[in-house]
């Protein structure tokens, strides 16, 4: 693996003073960049300090490979969205297949609908001059008067 500088976890409030002969504990929480892929990384943690004579020192206290993994919640949401996408794709394929079968299936001829003969009198005489018979009075047209 190539040793590259990916992210800096420098403390934002440095210069904690520890008196000579005392011990100190530094509490520091850090979070990796959310864009980092889950895999193994080399993590090196160091402390830089200055003694009373203004000499600078650096101590490496952690230098190991660590593995970043995805949280369980992000895996669950990713699986849920994957299932939804799969469902949409299956529904789309089903709809497309239905359209194709309708388009390329043999066209069925419809039976002709019987046309009612026009009455010229007789049994339907009572419909003359109505809208159904298409007479002049019942045709729905208004005549213009001069």
Give Cα 40 to chain centroid, integer Å: 29
Helix, coil or strand: residue 50: strand
**Would you list the domain boundaries of the chain?**
36-73
| Of residues 43, 12, 17, the one with CA closest to residue 28 | 12
Query: In angstroms, rounded to a whole number, what is the distance separating the alpha carbons of residues 138 and 87?
Result: 58
pLDDT of residue 112: 66
- Residues 6, 41: contact at Cβ < 8 Å? yes
pLDDT of residue 90: 95
Tell me the pLDDT tens digit for each residue of 97-140.
999 888 888 666 566 666 665 555 566 677 777 776 555 444 44
Query: In angstroms, rounded to a whole number, what is the distance separating the alpha carbons of residues 126 and 133?
Result: 9
pLDDT over 70, % of the chain: 69
Instruction: Tell me if the pTM is above 0.85.
Output: no
pLDDT of residue 94: 93
First to last CA, the chain: 102
């Amino acid at each position: 693996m190539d040793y590259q500088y990916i992210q800096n976890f420098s403390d934002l409030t440095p210069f904690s003073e520890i008196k000579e002969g005392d011990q100190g504990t530094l509490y520091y929480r850090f979070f990796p960049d959310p864009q980092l892929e889950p895999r193994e990384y080399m993590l090196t943690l160091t402390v830089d300090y200055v003694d009373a004579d203004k000499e600078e020192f650096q101590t490496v206290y952690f230098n190991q490979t660590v593995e970043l993994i995805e949280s369980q919640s992000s895996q669950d949401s990713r699986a849920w969205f994957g299932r939804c996408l799969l469902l949409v794709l299956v529904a789309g394929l089903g709809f497309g297949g239905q359209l194709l079968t309708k388009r390329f299936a043999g066209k069925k001829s419809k039976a002709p609908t019987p046309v009612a003969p026009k009455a010229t009198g007789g049994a339907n005489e009572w419909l003359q001059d109505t809208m159904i018979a298409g007479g002049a009075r019942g045709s729905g047209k208004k005549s213009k008067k001069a």
